[in-house]
Amino acid sequence: MKIERKHMISILGLLLAGCGALLVAKIIGMSGIKNTFLTSFFGVLIGFVCRELFKKSVKHIQDLEGIQIKNLREKNKKLLKEKDELQNKTSLKIINAGSAAVIISLSISKKIEKKIAENKNQTVVNLFLLSEKKSLLISKFIAMILLMLGVLAMIWLDLGPTCLLPGGILYCLLEFKERILTYRVVNGFFGANAAEALALIKFIHENIDDIGNNSDGGKRKILNDEIKPQPESASLPSEVQHG
Amino acid sequence: MADMDLVTKRINAALNIVLFSYPKRTSFGLLIGFVPLILIHTFKSNIEAKGISIDWLHYLACELIGVLLMNLKSIYEAFEGSSIDEAFSNTLKSIEKNTTLSNQEKRELITKTLAAQIDSLSTDQVEKVQKQIIEK
């Protein structure tokens, strides 16, 4: 039962609108105004505003993500173009200016190649992490709504502070999961066991259109390189080692 | 020093179990489960008048039912599985269970298997697109 993103955003927006409407209606009621029409009107109005604001902020986040991906692609294209131009210039300078110019051009070309390699580090695992982070962000938002509903239930229905537990525990678990996942990906641990490799292949299967190839036409790197701690002996000076 | 790969792997696996591998579905489940919880609490006196006592266990059951409802697809998938997943998981498990391979070798093999899987999926997709174009 996969809920589409836009539907989920609408549901969340409606929930938020409901919460906002209830809260405003309660505040108006507490201020002593007994007019039902006025209370309902302002409640619905504020709820509607809350919903629109939420939808706009979600759209803003989506736009930002889109811009980031676009920038990355443009950067890659630009770097490749610069590299090609430099290579052309290099061949011209061989004829015109001699070996000195060639050396300078080659060193710049190497720097650009290094930059391209850095951009290639946007691995499949990193994309998986990005997708998971997005999913966890939505889940955390739901946990916040749950927490908010818990507070409202505690105030109005005398449910007791235990009703805050589902939202609170869920939020903590989600935060912890995000941190653990980020740690594993950053250190190159992620994807090297059966369960995680399966999760990765599922992700690849779902998003094959986006991650089939790298932006420069080559195959995208799959796993991050494992960061290994330096052995103590390597940091010692050679004299000590001999001694 | 503790093997952080192993420690974080275990924690991640435990979190996956708690969150049913799908945090979004589970969160929604808890949110949905909160609705009957509120309803039960609101009509608590009416229900108790019929001789049914309501305690925290009922509230917990509401949340659990919500989570289970939202994870029905995950449960179905766990039983059913897909041919690609199964073939792939068999390969991965045979690599992991192999005692003659070192950890580094296992890692390399898993990476190669993943790369092969990506290649095969890309080819499949191209074939699908080709078929679609021919059919049209």
Classified as helix, coil or strand, A218 is coil
Question: Which pLDDT value is given to residue B112?
Answer: 79
pLDDT tens digits along A22-69:
777 777 777 777 777 777 777 777 777 777 777 777 776 667 667 766
Q: What is the mean pLDDT of chain B?
A: 79
Cβ under 8 Å to B: A residues 7-26: 15
Confidence of residue B69 (pLDDT cuts 50, 70, 90): very high
pLDDT of residue A239: 44
Residues of B in contact with A15 (CB under 8 A): 31
Residue with the larger pLDDT of the pair A58 and A210: A58
Residue % of chain B over a pLDDT of 70: 79
- Which value does ipTM take for this structure? 0.78
Least confident of A127-131, A222-226, A238-242, B51-55: A238-242
For the ranges A181-190, A231-240, B71-80, the one whose mean pLDDT is highest: A181-190
Answer whether residue A174 shows pLDDT above 90. yes
B130–A contact, CB cutoff 8 A: no
| String of DSSP letters for A53-120 | HHHHHHHHHHHHHHHHHHHHHHHHHHHHHHHHHHHHHHHHHHHHT-HHHHHHHHHHHHHHHHHHHHHH
Determine the average pLDDT of the residues in A199-212: 67
Confidence band, pLDDT 50/70/90 cuts, at residue A102: low
Q: Which residue has the higher pLDDT, A125 or A138?
A: A138
Which pLDDT band holds residue A219 (cuts at 50, 70, 90)? low
A235 in contact with B, Cβ within 8 Å:
no
Indicate the residue type of A187.
Answer: N
Q: Is the pLDDT higher at B94 or at A222?
A: B94
Most confident of A100-104, B47-51, B126-130: B47-51
* A107: Cα within 13 Å, side-chain hemisphere: 5
Q: What is the pLDDT of residue B130?
A: 46
Half-sphere exposure at residue A211, Cβ-oriented, CA atoms within 13 angstroms: 26
pLDDT of B30 above 90: yes
Q: pTM of the predicted model, to two decimals?
A: 0.59
Long-range contacts of B9-16 (CB under 8 A, 24+ apart): B9/A184, B9/A189, B9/A193, B9/A196, B11/A176, B11/A180, B12/A177, B12/A180, B12/A181, B12/A184, B12/A196, B13/A195, B15/A173, B15/A176, B15/A177, B15/A180, B16/A195
Contacts of A229 in chain B (CB under 8 A): 1
